[in-house]
Structure 1
Amino acid sequence: MTASLIAVEWRVACRLTDLLPERGACALFDGAQIALFRSWDDQVQAVGNRDPHTGAQVMARGLVGIRNGRRAVASPLNERVFDLATGECLSDPAVPALPTWPVRVRDGMVEVELSRG
């Protein structure tokens, strides 16, 4: 049996100060659109920018808030609410979850972990 190796790569998205608190911004990595969201305490989370219901690349323009104690974003097209940590649709469990990516802030730069394999 051959084990497949997956390389982890941290890629710079932007400066932390480029992200406004409680607003989204979109980063493009190798054709993938990733929506980044910064909280007031400078935590950054990353989810797919594609709304799974409509297929439109709009999640970075969604409304950010709290749903059941969890940081969440509502799609600007249909108001479905997604957990920013897990991607889970909080308003309709039948809707597919948004993909999520690990994020870190190093030396004031936001980095997203991308896997290659």
Structure 2
Amino acid sequence: MQWKTICKETDLIPNVGVAAMFEGQQVALFYMPKTEKKVYALSNWDPFSKANVMSRGLLGDIGEKLVVSSPIYKQHFELDTGKCIEEAVEVPCWQAQLVNGDVQLSLT
């Protein structure tokens, strides 16, 4: 798998989303330092409100799944897969990792 650095870990805020550009797309990055993966990346595009707002959503969990809720209409999207819990919709999702203080996303 190929990786590309998108930002520094210090650019992220614990338990809050931030938006960044990656390969021509807006990405919502979520830094959850107390989880195993620590960093999650979904498209910033909310398919329901048709706006780039996912990075402003609230983080939480439903059952055992970590989710972000859309800040407009409140649908929940799984951070690991980008799948919406309420409807048969999903947003693009990238593998993310921290390496020596860099936040990297997968290119494949």
If the length of structure 1 is used for normalisation, what is the TM-score?
0.83
Q: CA RMSD in A?
A: 1.4
Match of 2:40 among 41, 45, 49: 45
Match of 2:27 among 26, 34, 39: 34
Given that residues 22 and 65 in structure 1 are in contact (C-alpha distance below 8 angstroms), is that contact kept between their aligned partners in structure 2? no
Q: Which runs of 4+ in 1 moved over 4 A?
A: none
Distance in 1 (CA, whole Å) between partners of 2:101 and 2:5 is: 10
Aligned-pair distance for 1:30? 3.1
The gaps in structure 2 that reach 5 residues or longer are none
Between structure 1 and structure 2, the one with the greater Rg is: 1
Aligned residue in 2 for 1:80: 75
Spell out, residue by residue over 1:6-26, the C-alpha distance to the aligned partner (whole angstroms, 9 max, x if none): xx5422111112211110011
Q: Percent identity?
A: 38
SS at match of 1:71: strand
Match of 1:93 among 79, 87, 90: 87
Spell out, residue by residue over 1:45-101, the C-alpha distance to the aligned partner (whole angstroms, 9 max, x if none): 1001000112100000101111112111000010111110011111x123x111110
The gaps in structure 1 that reach 5 residues or longer are 1-7
Aligned residue in 2 for 1:23: 16
Aligned residue in 2 for 1:114: 107
If the length of structure 2 is used for normalisation, what is the TM-score?
0.90
Number of residue equivalences: 106
Aligned residue in 2 for 1:67: 62
